[in-house]
Structure 1
Amino acid sequence: MSLRTLAVLSFCLLLAACSKVTQENYSKLSAGMPKAQVEQLLGSPTQCSGALGMSSCTWGDAKTFISVQYAADKVVLFSGQGLE
């Protein structure tokens, strides 16, 4: 295995270990929380969509994720799956 391949694999493992999509962070979410505070806690979302003052953002992947729905940039609902 080349040194470059080893470095890339190490970096990927480090990123996975630093995920903010955890049960601990999920438990810190609450209705009414501002969008900026959620992003401070979870980082930049993996994807977002929305219209007419409503939006939905997701952090994580298909197996492990946190999803947050906003109205006027305030948390209305949130859910998670596969959190440890």
Structure 2
Amino acid sequence: MSLRVVALLAGCLLLAACNKVNQDNYAQLKPGMHKGEVESLLGGPAECAGALGMSSCTWGDEQRFISVQYAGDKVMMFSGKGLK
């Protein structure tokens, strides 16, 4: 097997293992968690928006995502879609 094929397979495995948008991580979310704890669990969010001390951050894409709503820096509520 060529080195290029081995590198491609290794890269695919790493990407699959790095996807933190899954049911196991969703189950670890709890109201009151600090934003830093959530980001340690899920990594940096794909997008965030907010105003007046409230914010909402999303990890993933339209088909599979976790969305977390914060009051200040603490989780208020969260939801997910397409998690396995």
Q: Do Structure 1 and Structure 2 share a fold, with TM-score over 0.5?
A: yes
Moved more, 4-13 or 15-24: 4-13
Structure 2 residue 35 is matched with structure 1 residue 35: yes
CA offsets, 1:49-82, max 9 Å, x none? Answer: 0110000000001000000000011000100000
Number of corresponding residues: 83
For residues 30-69 of structure 1, the aligned pairs below 5 Å read 30-69=30-69
Per the alignment, in what secondary structure is the counterpart of residue 28 of structure 2? coil
Shift of residue 14, structure 1, vs aligned partner = 2.9
For structure 2, the residue ranges without an aligned partner over 5 or more in a row are: none
**CA 1:33–1:46 in structure 2 vs 1: closer, same or farther (change >3 Å)?**
same
For structure 1, the residue ranges without an aligned partner over 5 or more in a row are: none
Tell me the TM-score normalised to structure 1 length: 0.85
Shift of residue 17, structure 1, vs aligned partner = 3.5
User: Where does structure 1 differ by over 6 angstroms across 4 or more consecutive aligned residues?
Assistant: 3-6
Identity rate of aligned residues, in percent? 66
